[in-house]
Amino acid sequence: DIQMTQSPSSLSASVGDRVTITCQASQDISNYLNWYQQKPGKAPKLLIYDASNLETGVPSRFSGSGSGTDFTFTISSLQPEDIATYYCQHLLTFGGGTKVEIK
Amino acid sequence: QVQLQESGPGLVKPSETLSLTCTVSGYSISSGYYWGWIRQPPGKGLEWIGSIYHSGSTYYNPSLKSRVTISVDTSKNQFSLKLSSVTAADTAVYYCARIAVAGTSYYFDYWGQGTLVTVSS
């Protein structure tokens, strides 16, 4: 089974900061990696699919990159409404999540 | 706009069967896509339970396969989850979702709001 390792597990940043989360696959998964945002008490929301494609309606400050085993999710300028837990996903496996908080 | 809504009991006794239904609106299940169930224990991460195609083909998480049944009722535009022999470890928020699949591209593009199921006597 392919394992997805996400880091960090949590981070604290200031409004306006650039935030980066990484996800590493245990074997080559090409570009088949997706990113979700989950706000407290809400369902996850798809942000990025196939590593770098922005889902319709998602703000452009969110982006994704990578291929093979190493992937990056970036928020270019952190906003208060971005406080959430972010998950990567490949096929039927989710990463452990990254909780993003405001410093 | 595609919408999904979970329904079912919020409390299930240990050893009994958890049963949930997902009602889809804004899209006909029989038109395509896969449909799935995902759960999230309180304070923990996401776990895929299983998926079903509109034709009825099913795929289950190996760790739950012996206890899971997912079915589809295209006439009602619904799909359902049954999880047998539940224990406290099955306490979680259960989500239904639509799954977009193209080759090995596989992502959950629409989600229900989730329903908390507690296993307790």
User: At residue B103, does pLDDT exceed 90?
Assistant: no
Select from A49, A55, A87 the Cβ nearest to the Cβ of B46.
Answer: A87
pLDDT for residue B54: 85
pLDDT-based confidence at residue A62 (cuts at 50, 70, 90): very high
Query: From residue B78, how far is each of B5, B48, B98, B114 by CA, in Å?
Result: 9, 19, 12, 15
User: At residue B104, does pLDDT exceed 90?
Assistant: no
User: For residue B46, which amino acid is it?
Assistant: L
Instruction: Please report residues of A whose CB lies closer than 8 A to that of B45.
Output: 87, 94-97
pLDDT in tens, B39-59: 999 999 999 999 999 888 999
* Range B112-121 average pLDDT: 98
Tokens of A3: 């394992």
Q: Is B105 in contact with A32 (Cβ distance < 8 A)?
A: yes
How does B9-43 read in b/e, with b if 16+ C-beta sit within 10 Å?
A: eeebeeeeebbbbbbbeebebeeebbbbbbbbeee
pLDDT in tens, B75-97: 999 999 999 999 999 999 999 99
Give the chain B residue nearest A85 (alpha carbons).
Answer: B45
Select from B45, B59, B112 the Cβ nearest to the Cβ of A94.
Answer: B45
Query: From residue B22, how far is each of B76, B95, B97 by CA, in Å?
Result: 10, 9, 9
Q: Is B105 in contact with A94 (Cβ distance < 8 A)?
A: no
Neighbours of B102 (CB within 10 A): 9
Q: Is B111 in contact with A49 (Cβ distance < 8 A)?
A: no
Cα(B29)–Cα(B97) distance, rounded to whole angstroms?
A: 12
Instruction: Please report residues of B whose CB lies closer than 8 A to that of A36.
Output: 108
- Please choose, from the candidates B91, B102, B99, B97, the residue with its C-alpha nearest in 3D space to the C-alpha of residue B112: B97
Cα(B23)–Cα(B7) distance, rounded to whole angstroms?
A: 8
Select from B46, B106, B113 the Cβ nearest to the Cβ of A91.
Answer: B106
Cα(A80)–Cα(A101) distance, rounded to whole angstroms?
A: 9
Q: Is A91 in contact with B104 (Cβ distance < 8 A)?
A: yes
User: For residue A47, which amino acid is it?
Assistant: L
What is the residue whose two structure tokens read 């991460």? B45
pLDDT in tens, A29-47: 999 999 999 999 999 999 9
Query: From residue B95, how far is each of A37, A38, A43 by CA, in Å?
Result: 15, 13, 8
User: At residue B102, does pLDDT exceed 90?
Assistant: no
